[in-house]
Amino acid sequence: MTLLAWAIVILRVALPVLILPLFVVPLTWLERRGAALIQDRPGPNRVGPFGLIQPIADMIKMFFKEAITPTSADRFLYLLAPAIAVFAALSTFAVVPYGSTIKISGLEVPMLGADLSIGILYIFAITSLSVYAIVLAGWASNSKFSLMGGIRSSAQIISYELAMTTAAAGVILASSSFRLSDVIAMQQGTWLGIIPRWNVIPQFFGFLVFFISAFAETNRLPFDLPEAEAELVAGYHTEYSAMRFGAFQMAEYVNVMVVSAIMATLYFGGWSLPGFHPRGVLGALASLLIFMAKSFFFVCVFIWVRWTLPRFRYDQLMKIGWKALLPLALANLLWIAALEMWRMRA
Amino acid sequence: MIGAIPLSDVLLVSGALFSIGIAGALLRRNAIQIFLSIELMMNAANLALIGYGAALGTREGQIVVFFVIAIAAAEAAVGLAIFVALFRHTETIDVNESNLLKW
Amino acid sequence: MTAGRLIFDLAAAAAIVFSGLMVVGRNPVRSVLSLVVAFFALAVCFVLLLAPFIAALQVIVYAGAILVLFLFVLMLLNVGREVPDKNVRPIQRVLGSAAVLVFAGLLLGMFRHSGSHVPAAADPVDPAMLGDPAALARLLYSDYLLHFEAVSVLLLAALVGAFVLARREHAS
């Protein structure tokens, strides 16, 4: 392989890993200002114009905090948990296409980390591994609040993982492939000339299930009982301070961004728009901007919901996941299977 | 870029894993670790099956492993349920303690 | 030594090392975690053996669900701490080690003759498409449909069985 090919491979792999944490910084600003807007108060506005330097100040504060380790904690597992959380959050983005292809000196380079034949399955595999971060954090902290929070959170995540996977199965069925580039390819074109062929329209309930499960998977309100401040001190990250807590927060924000990107790709056509055929570098950049706009929309919805809805009680949460979302996702799967059979009747 | 993995290497690894699993199942008295060793043995068998599938150029290996994984999941669930029931009565996970036919 | 061989060797070595750690570890939680790493390494081996779908299943089902179940049981029953070794009977150790050595010897003897004449399949598949999920799905739902349905019934039975077994006995 030539040097250029190696450079391209390294860039494709390293770019999302390096860029995603950078996007966390403005995301924290957006969260705090968005919260303030919804709660009818100014929000941070002292540090720099409109409080734009606030996240930098927060980062500096977090760097200089004292990292306290509980004495009876299992030290190795205690330090491993935030590492697993960050690793899982960043790795999930490897298969998400963030743009169309770019031509670099004759080579067609698709804009994603790796176009695996098992794309969507890879995402669920990495999500399954992220459960370990929470379970280990809860266990290794050797504190009752942490253990309760860790067990609750992991039970919540694996329950909603089921509904999420079944909803995604509908998308897989419609695209006849696990590859995310195939999923986007199946969403090209329009119905009746104006309605884009996005998966959200035939699979609206599947999208609803996926959307709600995404909140549960990322531990965001209304599903954040495991880390609820008032109920469980801080759940599984009670005993974590300074950069280790920072790592968990970063993992949570990266998860929000990645799951928004996945929703945009699976249900809203990813980087494509009907009638838009990207040509050359400008076309690729345009597709990147379209992708970012769609993901950004979902990130804003995440923030909006967080500060609007109250928290679910734990038994309500489990009830919704198993008794409402899973049957709805299965019904969606049956509906999509019927649609596919009707489409293939010729 | 991916070269073919010779079958003998795969079988060697599978055999080593299986031996480690047997050692764990026979030499440990901790119910959980015995169970884990059994899971390890099943994975060693899976590796051998996949290796043969790749060497022969057939998909049967992967299909069988698919079913083995599903059955292992079912077995793990039931086994752990038995373990939980046992633990509630004997308060220990040492299998040597459960040496009577009733408790 | 291509990149594929190298990665396979590393992953296989990691699987063996972490399985060994699992067997000799005293702390059950650490044993489970060592096995998670071993299973992940095995998934990497599966990818290199042209079975990416099975590798994904291995991580999702084995490393991501079964072992999480193990961890849950350990944590909820609070048996995660070090397990002391009382009343060890030496004869168990001796017989167990002897059995392991005999078995390992048998396996080694068999492997020296394996791989020498492996017949090719009736219609060999193009290696790049060997692990194609669509082709696997087609096989599953045509030739192996009965097996598939039987396993679903088995999973249902296991579900009900696990629930009944782990239930607390109520006096009423």
ipTM of the prediction: 0.89
Would you say residue C116 has pLDDT above 80? Answer: no
Would you say residue A163 has pLDDT above 60? Answer: yes
Q: How many whole angstroms separate alpha carbon A117 and alpha carbon A176?
A: 11
CA angle B49, B51, B56 (to 5 degrees): 95
Q: Which of A148, C18, C77 is nearest to B80 (CA)?
A: C77
Would you say residue A124 has pLDDT above 90? Answer: yes
C135/B59 CB distance under 8 A = yes
Q: How far apart are the first and last CA of chain B?
A: 60
Of 3.90.1300.10, 1.10.287.3510, 3.30.1490.190, 3.40.50.300, the CATH number of B7-97 is: 1.10.287.3510
Considering only alpha carbons, which residue of chain C is nearest residue B54? C49
- Which chain C residues have a beta carbon less than 8 Å from that of A159? none
Q: What does each C-alpha distance from A227 to A145, C14, C36 come to in angstroms?
A: 10, 35, 26
C2 touches chain B (CB under 8 A): yes
What is the span of the domain harbouring residue A339? 3-43+71-343
Mean pLDDT of C92-109: 84
Asked whether C100 and B26 are in contact (CB, 8 A), the reply is: yes
A101: Cβ–Cβ under 8 A, 6 or more apart, which residues?
A: A108, A109, A110, A111, A278, A284
Q: Which of C129, A172, C152 is nearest to B59 (CA)?
A: C129
Nearest-Cα distance to chain C for A298, in Å, is 26
pLDDT for position A233: 64
Q: Which of A72, A122, A67 is nearest to A94 (CA)?
A: A122
Assigned domain for A54 exists: no
Per-residue pLDDT band at C41 (split at 50, 70, 90): very high
pLDDT for position C172: 46
CA angle A105, A110, A111 (to 5 degrees): 110
Mean pLDDT of A171-175: 92
Q: Check residues B2 and B39 and name the one with the higher pLDDT.
A: B39
> B79-102 pLDDT, tens per residue?
999 988 888 887 776 777 777 766
B31 touches chain C (CB under 8 A): no
Residue A115 tokens read as 């176009």
Considering only alpha carbons, which residue of chain C is nearest residue B19? C104
Q: Which residue shows structure tokens 């494509």?
A: A272
Assigned domain for A213 exists: yes
Query: Which residues face A110 on adjacent strands?
Result: A101
Domains held by chain A: number: 1
Would you say residue C79 has pLDDT above 80? Answer: no
Q: Check residues A271 and B29 and name the one with the higher pLDDT.
A: A271
A328: Cβ–Cβ under 8 A, 6 or more apart, which residues?
A: A163, A205, A208, A209
Per-residue pLDDT band at A229 (split at 50, 70, 90): low
Would you say residue B2 has pLDDT above 60? Answer: no
> C49-67 pLDDT, tens per residue?
999 999 999 999 999 999 9
Per-residue pLDDT band at A339 (split at 50, 70, 90): very high
Q: How many whole angstroms separate alpha carbon B65 and alpha carbon C117?
A: 23
Asked whether A221 and A311 are in contact (CB, 8 A), the reply is: yes
Q: How many whole angstroms separate alpha carbon B4 and alpha carbon A344?
A: 38
pLDDT for position A117: 87
Output the average pLDDT for chain A: 87
B76 touches chain C (CB under 8 A): yes
Mean pLDDT of A110-116: 84
Would you say residue A298 has pLDDT above 70? Answer: yes
> B11-25 pLDDT, tens per residue?
889 999 999 999 999
C135/B39 CB distance under 8 A = no
Max CA-CA distance within chain A? 69
> β-pairing, A101-104 with A107-110?
antiparallel
Q: What does each C-alpha distance from C48 to A35, A210, A307, A336, B26 come to in angstroms?
A: 48, 32, 46, 34, 32
Q: How many whole angstroms separate alpha carbon A2 and alpha carbon A25?
A: 36
- Which chain C residues have a beta carbon less than 8 Å from that of B50? 45-46, 49, 51, 54
Q: Check residues A5 and A301 and name the one with the higher pLDDT.
A: A301
B42 touches chain C (CB under 8 A): no
Would you say residue A293 has pLDDT above 90? Answer: yes
Nearest-Cα distance to chain A for C121, in Å, is 24
Between residues 140 and 169 of chain C, which touch chain A (CB distance below 8 Å)?
A: none
Packing angle between helix A144-175 and helix A242-268, nearest 10 degrees?
20
Assigned domain for A233 exists: yes
**Interface with chain C: mutation pick from A87, A91, A123, A135, highest number of C CBs within 10 Å:** A135
Q: Where are the domains of chain B?
A: 7-97
